[in-house]
Amino acid sequence: MPAPTKSARERAEEFLRDGGEFHLGSLVTEASHPRSRALSDTVRDDVAAGLALLFDVDRDVVETFDRWSRSGQPEALRDRAVDALAGGGRLFFTGCGATGRLSIQLDSIWRGFWQDRRERGLSRPDPDAWEGRTFSVMAGGDYALIKSVEGFEDFAPFGRRQIADLGVSRGDMVFAITEGGETSFVIGTAWEALEKDATVVFVYNNPDEVLRSHVNRSREVLDEPRIRRVNLTTGPMAITGSTRMQATSIQLLALLTVLEMTLRDILAREGSAEPTIGPSSSVPGEMREGLEALHAELGSQGFRRDLGRLVTAEEDVYRRGARTSYFADSLAVDVLTDTTERSPTFCTPSFRKHGDEAAAESWAYLFTPSPSTEEAWTRLLRRAPRTIEWTGDDLRALLDEEAAGRQEAVLREIGRAELMRFRIGLDGQEERPPRPGDGVTVVAAEPDLPLLDEGAFARALEQAHAEGAVTSMIGVGRRAALARLTGTAVARHGETLVVGLEAPSAPALLDPLTRVGVKMLLNALSTCTMVRLGRVLGNRMIWVVPSNLKLIDRSIRYIQDLAAASYEEACHALFEVIEYVEPRRHAGQVYPAPVGVASMHLRHGLGLEEAEARLARELGGETPAAPDR
């Protein structure tokens, strides 16, 4: 939500006058998926059936990947990536919001591969020469991995500056990733990289003809012959406009396919190919076959039954005013991505900083087994954190005076010192110990087995049991590893609810299908939980937080539909509510859904306090305000 430098009426009129490039209702990624329109009713009636519906929409991802993997693009991108790296260049992944978190994930997976080889004593090729050859460029820096940074994605100059700060140059290769294909920040990174003579690949999820017809900045990119295009359109999202779901799932699949092929070629060139792993040319076929098996496993009756139990267990935690703490290590960035994205998608309290007693407590949080928060962030990112440390003068060099003034307040909140206040190491547990009725969930893959056997995960579950918390474990891996993970959880922590997802058996360097499976699993878990808590109506995320221009437009369209109002009426109502909830939001306190309050305001002619009260009554007290302190 924009800073309140103008009145609600002035901001609404400004958006209606100047925000036409962000009126995005014509995009396929903003449309309602016909197969999920009854999602909220289905999930409330039968969680397993609701999960089946979500995984059915994920079938769009399987079919799109099948077509793309046969297109020749994976091989062409592999060749360019290998050439760039062999010539001393680097790979950049740029994005914002969900794609920004994806860019950080891809960077951490690449770096983690080389760090693991170093730990195993494998020195050929030299990990020191290859580990630091990828970079993530997320709107708002690494701080945005854990909490949305308002407004950053709306400015192309910010994208230009962030990638320029990392020294993008000739010989590098840049994957500019945007679900909608229209994000200003990402487009800025593409133009800056192109000007520096880097190879630019534009990765997006809407049909070319739609983008060309409706979004000028997208048309300019698509019509630039020097920019390579990777169109991964899957269709509408399972939750209307929620591109954290199918759009970023197919992007994760495609880009991990390219990275897996690239790594296999690099190792083969260096005479270090893994004997049990096939050549890079076999990757697309392996991924197609494995993805079919993975999707079948997700949709199976037994898996949906077990995951459905976890959905209702987490729902019950929140209904009684308690909270959930997740523990993860090898999959920590995957878990953090999902828990972070719940806040802007469903208007739940974001992660609370150390010492911020005024802020509402987070419903969900992440802990890693690193002793200190400093170590935890480096372990999770697989590198030192990179935050935005610009000055006010830097902003004024990029934006006009008014826009720079609005963003200057944001800038003060996203530096390294503020990131370190999110205590995700074991040192943060003293502020969030397990209590009776809380939830504690471990998310583990094969490398985490020692932590589940006798390490930090085992201690976390044992402490949670002792304090009367509800414990769960999500295990993901190939059959033998999964049996060890789930067997250990049952043997050592018998009351723990266990969800096991079997990954395809084909070995791979980066284990890409495990990462995709975890993403689809966590997306379904968090979505169904929030549906059960009344935060989705049909397949619309009516509690979405309008924190940037695209989300403001999406919120207006929701209000327009729910209140049978014009776009202009809905816009004015939304900005009135934004102004109304602003003090609570800035203080990190609980506040009502702007879309819901605005809809009540318009439908029933109520004042905003009355509209908020009526919204609460119509929810029937089902949605908790926040965990108890």
Q: How many structural domains does the chain have? A: 3
3 state SS for 434-487:
CCCCCEEEEEECHHHHHHHHCCHHHHHHHHHHHHCCEEEEEEEECHHHHHHHHH
Question: Same domain, yes or no, for 426 and 362?
Answer: yes
Q: 0.95 cut: is pTM over it?
A: no
CA atoms within 13 A on the CB side of 264: 24
- Domain boundary residue, one of 252, 268, 292: 292
Asked if residue 628 is part of any domain, the answer here is no
Per-residue pLDDT reduced to its tens digit, 309-361: 999 999 999 999 999 999 999 999 999 999 999 988 898 999 999 999 888 89
83 in the same domain as 120: yes
CA gap 473, 138 in Å, rounded: 30
Residue 2 lies in a domain: no
Here the tokens at position 3 are 């800073």
Answer whether residue 627 is part of any domain: no
HEC sequence for 512-541? HHHHHHHHHHHHHHHHHHHHHCCCCECCEC
pLDDT in the model for residue 1:
43
Residue 629 — very low, low, confident or very high, per pLDDT cuts 50/70/90?
A: very low
Residue 624 lies in a domain: no
Tokens standing for residue 130: 């290859």
**173 and 87 share a domain?**
yes
- Domain assignment present for residue 445? The answer is yes
Residue range 373-398: average pLDDT?
A: 96
pLDDT band at 5 (very low <50, low <70, confident <90, very high): low
Report yes or no on 267 lying in a domain.
Answer: yes
**Domain end point (choices 510, 532, 554):** 532
Residues 100 and 126 in one domain: yes
- Tell me if 626 is assigned to some domain: no
* 64 part of a folded domain: no
Q: Do 574 and 508 share a structural domain?
A: no
The sheet with strand 439-444 has its strands ordered as 364-367, 324-328, 439-444, 470-477, 497-502
Q: pLDDT > 90: what percent of the chain?
A: 82
Considering the domain architecture, whether residues 386 and 410 belong to the same structural domain is answered as yes
CATH number of the domain enclosing 207: 3.40.50.10490
Total Cβ atoms within 10 A of residue 620: 8
Do you find a cis peptide bond into 125, omega within 30 degrees of 0? yes
Residues contacting residue 206 through CB under 8 Å, at least 6 positions apart:
27, 28, 29, 180, 181, 182, 231, 233
Which residue among 236, 258, 292 closes a domain?
Answer: 292
DSSP H helices in 270-382: 283-298, 301-319, 332-346, 373-381
Tell whether 83 and 145 lie within a shared domain: yes
Judge whether residue 625 has pLDDT over 60: no
Asked if 518 and 559 sit in the same domain, the reply is no
Q: Are residues 426 and 479 in the same domain?
A: yes
Q: In terms of domains, do 592 and 491 share one?
A: no
How high is the pLDDT of residue 23? 81
pLDDT at 21: 76
305 & 331 share domain: yes
For 310, the domain range is 36-57+298-396+404-532
Predicted confidence (pLDDT) per residue in 274-295, tens digit: 888 999 999 999 999 999 999 9
Same domain, 280 and 302: no
